[in-house]
Structure 1
Amino acid sequence: MAYPIIHRNHGEKPATDAIPTLRLVQSGRSYADRLLEPGFPYGEDLLQFIWQQRLFEQHALRTTDGRPVEVLKPGRIQQNSGPDLTGAELRIDGQTWAGTVEVHLRSSEWNAHGHQFDPAYENVALHVVYEHDAEVKTRQGRALPTVELMSRVSTDSIALHHALMRGQGFVPCANLLGQLDPLRTSTWLERVLIERLERKTIEVEALYKQLHGDPAETLYHMLARAFGLKVNAEPFGMLAHALPLRTVLKYRDNALRTEALLFGQAGLLHVDFVDDHPRQLQQEHALLAHMHGLRPAPVAAWKFGRMRPVNFPTVRIAQLAQLLMRCDGSFTALLETDTVAELHHLLDIEASAYWTDHYTFDRPSTPRPKRLGRAGADHLIINAIVPTLFALGRLQGRPEAGERALHLLEQLPAEHNQLLRSWGQLRHSRRHRRPWPGPHRTEEHLLHPPQVLILRHRQPVAPQHRQIGS
C-alpha cells in the first residue's frame, strides 16, 4: 500500500525553483490542433514529464471523485520495471501519502497492462491520466485515486514540449532562444554554471574530507580523474588511491621511477614485456612497491576500446607522470595562478621519449609527440583545477579563491570543445560568450533527453546574487 506520513505541516509548501519560460509561437495548424482529436496524440513519456515538471494547472486540483489533491513531490521518472515515478508525496483529502505514481493516457490502460494483478503496483499513491474512462483498483482491491489532466494542460505548451522532445539538432531549442529576453537567458546560464560548480564542489569536498583535509592530495585526485576523461575517470581515481601523492613526489626528479610507480600501481606492468623500457619499469616498481608497501589497483578496470589512441590510458598516465615531475609538491602554482595563459604554460607537457612512437607497451607506432595540447589542458582546468579552487575557497573561507575560479572559466577559449563551440554559436550577446563549463552541464544533464530544457510554467524570479564560499 501507499503509507501515510505525518511529518509535514498542512500549510507547508514544497520547495520549487524557477527558470525562464519559453512560449510557442504558432503559425497555421500546429501540434496543438491535434489535441482537438479524442485522446492524447503523443506518447506516455510526454505525459510523465508534464506531471514530473508540474506543467499543468495545479490550482484546485482534485481526484476524479472530487477529493482535493496537493502535490508535495511529484516523484522522479524511473526507467525500470514498476510504476512510472518514485518518491512522490501527495496530500489527498487532507491525508499525506508517500508512494509511487503511475501515468497512463487513459485510466483503462491500468487494467489493459495487468497492473490490477501485479503486487509491484500496490503502493501506487496516485493514478495520473490524460483522460479518465474507467475506475480501477489495485491487486488488494483498493480503489485508486485518479487525477485527470485533460483540462489542465495547455495545448500550445504540449505542442512546444513535443517539438523539443523530438528535436534532432545539437540544441533542440536553438530556434526558440531568440524569443527569450537576453537578461533572463543570461540569468539562466549563470544558474547552470553555478549548478555545475556546486556539483563538482560536492565531489571535491567529499575527497577533501576523505583525504584528511589535504588540498594538494585533493587536487591530485581530481587531476588524475580528469586525465582519465569520461571513460577512464574511475580507474584513474583508483590509481590515485593506490599511489599517494606524497609517495610519488619523492621521486619527481626521476622520470623512470615516477612512471614505474604510476604504471605499476595502475596494474599495467603485470605481463612479460619485450621492450627494455617497460621491463625497467617493472624492476623499479617491484623495488618501490616493496619499499613503500604498495598494492596495485585492479588492471581490469582500464578501458582501451573505442577511443582515439592518443587518449589511451597508457599515454595519459605517461602525461600525468610529466605533470607530477613539474610540480613543487604542493601544486601551489596550479592553484594560485590568475590567468589561463599561465595554466597553459604549466600544463604544456609531453610524455617521455618512449611514447613518441608508442601508444601501448611493446607496440611501435608512427612517431608522434604525445603532447597534452591546449584542448587537454583546458579539460584539466575545467574539470579539476577550477572546481578544486572553487571548493577550497569555500572550505577554507577564502571567497577570493572562488572568484578567481570563475575568472579562470571566463578566460577559456571555446574552439577546443564541441559543446562550447556549438553553444557559442547560439549566444546572442557578448555577455553570453562565456565558454565556461555551463554548456557541459546543459548538454549532458539539461538537453538529453531534450525535454529537460523545457522551461516551466512559473513566474520568473529575480536573479539572485552569486555568493562564493558561503
Structure 2
Amino acid sequence: MKEDFLHYIWKFKKFDTLNLKTSNGEEITIVNVGQYLELAGPDFFNAQIVIGDQKWAGNVEIHLKSSDWYMHHHERDAAYENVILHVVWEHDTEIYRSNNTEIPVLELKKQVDSVTIADYLSLITPKSWIFCEKQLKNIDDFTLKNWQERLFFERLERKSKPIYELLQQTNNDWEAVLFCLLAKNFGLNTNGEIFLKIAQSIPFSIIRKESFEIENLEALLLGNTGLLDSVKEDIYFKDLKFRYFYLLHKYQLENRIIEPVQFFKHRPDNFPTIRLSQLANLYYSQKNLFSKISTSGPVQNIYEAFDVSASNYWQNHYQFDKESPKKKKKLSKSFIDLIIINTIIPLQFAYAKSQGKEISEDLIQLLNEVAPEKNAIMDKFSSFGIKSKNAFETQSLLQLKNEYCNKSRCLECGIGMELLKKS
C-alpha cells in the first residue's frame, strides 16, 4: 500500500462514504474533499467536512498510519495547524495539535472494497516493461489524446528550463541561444555537451561578424575542439589553422581545447568534422536564423532553411588527410526532424511564453507534420497497441515512459487513472 493510492481513494471517493465515523465514533459527512495540492503542506486544501453536528472547513492530511504524523514532524509545522481531518489507512495512535486539541481521524482500511484494492495491486504489479502494458489497448482514443497533449507540454516545460538558463548567460540574445542549442543537437548524444561548450566558448557576436566567410566559421568551430592543433600536410587544414590562430589574436580569444570530441562508434556522416562543417554552413547561408524559425509556420519552411551541406572539402573527406569517395554530405530530412523536435519546437515554446503568446495549437500542428521517431520505446508501445503517426505522439510517449512509467506514477497518470475508474 502506498500513500498515493490513499490520495486517489480520497480524491475520487473510492470508499464507502455512508456511515463514516472517526476513531472516536463521531459521524462524518464529506461535503467537499478539498483541492489536491501536490505541494509542501497538507495534501488537500479547503475541504468541507461535517463531524458530529459541527461543519468544518480546512485541510486534510493523509498517511498510511496515524503515527506517520509524528514521523514527518508535522506537530512542529504551523502549516498543519488547520488540519480538520487526518485520513489514514491504519489508525495506530492519537494525534494532537500544538494546543493539545485532538485531530479527528478517519481510518479507511475497512471502508475500501476488496475489488478496488485488487485492481490497484494489479495495476502496480511489475510486468515485463510497464505496469499497464496488458491494458493499454483498452484505453479509448479520447482519453489517450487528451493525456498525450498534457504529456507533450510537460515535456516542453522541462525542455524550456535550460533555454531560459542560456538566455540569462547570453544577455537575452535569442540568436545566441539558438546557436548553442543547435550546436548541442548537431553533436547528438555523444558529442552534444562538447559541442555546446564549444558554442559557449565563442561569443556569438563573433559568429555574426565572421558568418560571411565559411572558412572562418569552420576554423573557429574546429579550432575550439582541438582538431586544428596537430601538424598535417593537408592544404585545407593548414588554411583553417592559420585562420583560427589569426581569429584568436584578432578577437583576443583564449585557445581552449574544451575536451576531445568522439569519432568512435559514429557513422562517418555523424563524425564531428562533418557536423561542425554543416553547422558552420548553416550560419554562413542563413543570416538572422532565429527570426526565420522563432514563429510558427509550415514545416517546409524549416526544411528549406536547413537545406545545407558540409563544405566542398568534406565532400571527399571525413577527416583531415584521409580522402574518401565523393559524397555530398547534406543534412538529411531525418536529422532536420530531430532539430525540429529538440531545438525549434522547445525554442518556439519558450520564446512565445516569454512574449506572453499562446501557440499551443501551432506547435502541435507543426509536430503533426513531422515523422514519428523510431526507437526501442516506440517499438514497445507499438507492440502493446499504441502506434504513433507523428512526432507529437512520440514525444508524448517518451514523456509518459520516462516520467510516469519508469517512476511508478500510475496514480498521477491519465491512463492509470482511467484504467482504475473503468474497473
TM-score (norm 1): 0.61
Select which of 375, 391, 408 maps to 2:350: 391
Contact 2:194 2:261 in 1 (8 A): yes
Contact 1:196 1:438 in 2 (8 A): yes
Aligned to 2:150: 191
Aligned to 2:83: none
How many angstroms does 1:214 deviate by? 2.0
Q: Is 1:455–2:416 an aligned residue pair?
A: yes
Aligned to 2:119: 157
Select which of 403, 406, 411 maps to 2:364: 406
How many angstroms does 1:360 deviate by? 3.9
Alpha carbons of 1:161 and 1:132: their partners in 2 closer, same or farther (altered >3 Å)? farther
Contact 2:371 2:389 in 1 (8 A): no
Contact 1:227 1:316 in 2 (8 A): yes
- Aligned residue identity for 2:170: L
Aligned to 2:240: 281
CA distance in 1, matches of 2:194, 2:72: 40
Aligned to 1:249: 208
How many angstroms does 1:176 deviate by? 1.6
| Structure 1 unmatched runs, 5+ | 1-39, 41-46, 76-86, 97-101, 108-121, 134-147, 461-470
Aligned to 1:81: none
CA distance in 1, matches of 2:364, 2:38: 34
Alpha carbons of 1:402 and 1:131: their partners in 2 closer, same or farther (altered >3 Å)? closer
Q: Is 1:269–2:227 an aligned residue pair?
A: yes
- Aligned residue identity for 2:122: L
Select which of 158, 170, 174 maps to 1:215: 174
Aligned to 1:435: 391
How many angstroms does 1:298 deviate by? 4.5
Contact 1:414 1:424 in 2 (8 A): no
- Correspondence list, 1:120-199, <5 A: 154-163=116-125, 166-169=126-129, 173-199=132-158
CA distance in 2, matches of 1:370, 1:345: 16
CA distance in 2, matches of 1:306, 1:444: 25
Aligned partner of residue 397 in structure 1, secondary structure: coil
Aligned to 2:56: none
Aligned partner of residue 274 in structure 2, secondary structure: helix
Select which of 270, 282, 285 maps to 1:311: 270
Aligned to 2:314: 355
Contact 1:387 1:405 in 2 (8 A): no
CA distance in 2, matches of 1:49, 1:273: 63
Percent sequence identity is: 26
How many angstroms does 1:262 deviate by? 0.9
Contact 1:339 1:408 in 2 (8 A): yes
CA distance in 2, matches of 1:443, 1:240: 31
- Aligned residue identity for 1:269: L
Aligned to 2:49: none
CA distance in 1, matches of 2:141, 2:238: 60
CA distance in 1, matches of 2:173, 2:385: 39
Alpha carbons of 1:330 and 1:457: their partners in 2 closer, same or farther (altered >3 Å)? closer
Contact 2:373 2:391 in 1 (8 A): no
- Correspondence list, 1:229-240, <5 A: 229-240=188-199
Alpha carbons of 1:402 and 1:123: their partners in 2 closer, same or farther (altered >3 Å)? closer
- Correspondence list, 1:319-398, <5 A: 319-336=278-295, 338-364=297-323, 368-398=327-357
| Structure 2 unmatched runs, 5+ | 18-22, 26-33, 45-58, 76-87, 93-106
How many angstroms does 1:315 deviate by? 2.6
Alpha carbons of 1:132 and 1:362: their partners in 2 closer, same or farther (altered >3 Å)? farther
CA distance in 2, matches of 1:230, 1:223: 13
By percentage of residues, which structure has more helix? Answer: 2
How many angstroms does 1:406 deviate by? 3.1
Contact 2:185 2:342 in 1 (8 A): yes
Deviations 1:351-377 (A, max 9, x none): 223334444444555654433211110
CA distance in 2, matches of 1:350, 1:237: 20
Count matched residues: 371
Contact 1:319 1:372 in 2 (8 A): yes
How many angstroms does 1:261 deviate by? 0.8
How many angstroms does 1:195 deviate by? 0.8
Contact 1:251 1:257 in 2 (8 A): yes
Aligned to 1:226: 185
Alpha carbons of 1:73 and 1:330: their partners in 2 closer, same or farther (altered >3 Å)? closer
Contact 1:249 1:325 in 2 (8 A): no
Aligned partner of residue 272 in structure 1, secondary structure: coil
- Aligned residue identity for 1:281: L
CA distance in 2, matches of 1:174, 1:264: 50
Aligned partner of residue 307 in structure 2, secondary structure: coil
Contact 1:238 1:297 in 2 (8 A): no
Aligned partner of residue 341 in structure 1, secondary structure: helix
Alpha carbons of 1:295 and 1:408: their partners in 2 closer, same or farther (altered >3 Å)? farther
Alpha carbons of 1:90 and 1:378: their partners in 2 closer, same or farther (altered >3 Å)? closer
Q: Is 1:446–2:404 an aligned residue pair?
A: yes
Aligned partner of residue 210 in structure 2, secondary structure: coil
Higher relative contact order (CA 8 A, sep 6+): 1
CA distance in 2, matches of 1:220, 1:294: 18
Alpha carbons of 1:438 and 1:362: their partners in 2 closer, same or farther (altered >3 Å)? farther
- Correspondence list, 1:50-129, <5 A: 54=7
CA distance in 2, matches of 1:322, 1:410: 28
CA distance in 1, matches of 2:315, 2:381: 35
Deviations 1:87-119 (A, max 9, x none): 89789xxxx9xxxxx99xxx9xxxxxxxxxxxx
CA distance in 2, matches of 1:459, 1:173: 11
Contact 1:357 1:368 in 2 (8 A): yes
Greater Cα shift, 356-365 or 438-447: 356-365
Alpha carbons of 1:181 and 1:352: their partners in 2 closer, same or farther (altered >3 Å)? same
Deviations 1:171-195 (A, max 9, x none): 6644422322322221111101111
- Aligned residue identity for 1:444: N
CA RMSD of aligned residues (A): 4.9
Contact 1:269 1:281 in 2 (8 A): no
CA distance in 2, matches of 1:284, 1:459: 65
Contact 1:424 1:435 in 2 (8 A): no
CA distance in 2, matches of 1:338, 1:275: 47
